[in-house]
Amino acid sequence: MQVILKTIYRKSRFAIYENSLYFWSMRKHTGMRPHDIPILVKAFMLQRDPWLIKDLATSVYISQSEVSESLHRSMYAELLDEQKQKVHPKRFYEFIIYGMRYVFPQKPGHLTRGMATAHSHPALQGKFISNVKYVWPKEKGETLGHAVGPFYAKQVNACQDDDELYFVLSLVEIIRVGKTREVNYAKEQLKKIFEVEK
């Protein structure tokens, strides 16, 4: 009887172990989420020096637990190294250029006030001739334009604090909503930022 009970116990423990492995592997395949993009951009900006998750979380206005989960997804997608500290710039660049429109599509909406983005970013306005303006909706925003949904709710807050993050994410928005000439310009700028060789 004891032998039978021990066998059942061993089998049950192994079944629990197998189920936990299955759950973990399924967890890894949940796919990228919109806020992973700003987090990766900020992580790339921070990687000049060692950084902590709490610092990254504070700078992007996202909880530490969500940032940790995001970094795990990016590591699994091989956009981030196994230590979750260094962004693979070429892979991230390629994901932005070739996958952004399809993974996180965006259709500009109604006119509203907000924070200028895409080619409407203050540093990019003089680069293109366009009567159309795009904004991330924001209460009491200074710019009137067509609404473009940000990658996450508090993205505007993070961009107000960080001009570099604001500029890079505006270039990323061009990839999602821009016309051919604008997109080509954004590609070249992003290539320089991520130091991707031609």
Q: Is the pLDDT of residue 96 over 70?
A: yes
For residue 10, what pLDDT is reported? 52
106-143 per-position pLDDT tens digit:
999 999 999 999 999 999 988 988 889 999 999 989 99
Strands 134-137 and 111-117: antiparallel
CA 85, CA 25: separation in Å to the nearest integer?
Answer: 22
Burial class of residue 155 in the structure, from the number of CB atoms within 10 Å of its CB (0-12 exposed, 13-18 middle, 19+ buried): buried
The answer to whether the Cα torsion of 73, 75, 76, 82 is positive or negative is negative
Whether the CB-CB separation of 177 and 118 falls below 8 Å is answered with: yes
Give the mean pLDDT of the chain: 87
Of 191, 159, 162, 179, the closest CA to residue 119 belongs to 179
Phi, psi for residue 23 in degrees, rounded to 5: -60, -45
CA 130, CA 159: separation in Å to the nearest integer?
Answer: 23
pTM score, two decimals?
0.84
- The domains of the chain are located at 1-30, 36-103, 111-193
Q: Which residue has the tokens 């952004």?
A: 100
Residue 31's pLDDT band (boundaries 50, 70, 90)?
Answer: confident
Q: Greater confidence, 135 or 23?
A: 135
